[in-house]
Amino acid sequence: MSNNVEPVFENDELVLVWNNDKDCAKLQYFGGYSKSETHRFICWCDGRTSSTTGGYIEHWKNCAKICQKCEKQVCECNTKPTFKDDELVLVWNEKKSTAELRYFRCILSNGISCWASGKTSFTANALFQVYDNCVKVCQECGKEECECK
């Protein structure tokens, strides 16, 4: 594999762009390649996409691929699990032996919020509980190590 192969960017792909100082890099949507020798990468202005920008573009010196989900150059999607609304999860506070199955609500600054009493967003009447720990489980059997098969 050669390091000289440049990544190919798609129109409206979320990318990280910067000029001289990578610390000032910004997330923008890719808009094409320019003939400029120094500022070869075109992005739509102000974090807009081709459909919302009204045609305004900016030119950048550097452009890098990022994960389209977590928006990081080094994807963190797998290191920090993400939970969906009403996803069945296993939650506990101090001891995992007391873990219970709950339906995920959201992440709060003080912990993981799940709908109270094993209910979902549809049935919980807005009541929720907060836990310290949360892991993914099989949505069918509710086990961390799926036992469905």
Does 144 participate in binding Zn ion (rule CB under 5 A)?
no
Q: Which residue reads 């094993």 in tokens?
A: 118
Q: Which helix H or strand E contains 31, and what residues bound it?
A: strand 26-33
Establish if 100 lies at the interface with Zn ion (CB under 5 A). no
- Smaller CB distance to Zn ion: residue 42 or 88? 88
For residue 50, the minimal CB distance to Zn ion (Å) is 23
Chain residues 53-92 in contact with Zn ion, contact rule CB under 5 A: 67, 69-70, 75, 77
Cβ–Cβ contacts within 10 Å for residue 41, how many?
A: 22
Report the distance separating Cα 99 and Cα 25, nearest Å. 42
**101 contributes a contact to Zn ion by CB under 5 A:** no
In the complex with Zn ion, the residue whose CB is nearer, 67 or 116, is 67
Q: How far is the CB of 30 from Zn ion (least distance, A)?
A: 17
- 50-62 b/e with 16+ CB inside 10 Å = b? eeebeeebbebeb
Q: Which residues in 107-136 contact Zn ion (CB under 5 A)?
A: none
Q: Which residues face 59 on adjacent strands?
A: 42
Q: Which is nearer to Zn ion, 127 or 141 (CB)?
A: 141
Q: How far is CA 56 from CA 9, 24, 46, 53, in A?
A: 18, 21, 9, 6
**Chain residues that interact with Zn ion, rule: CB under 5 A:** 67, 69-70, 75, 77, 138, 140-141, 146, 148
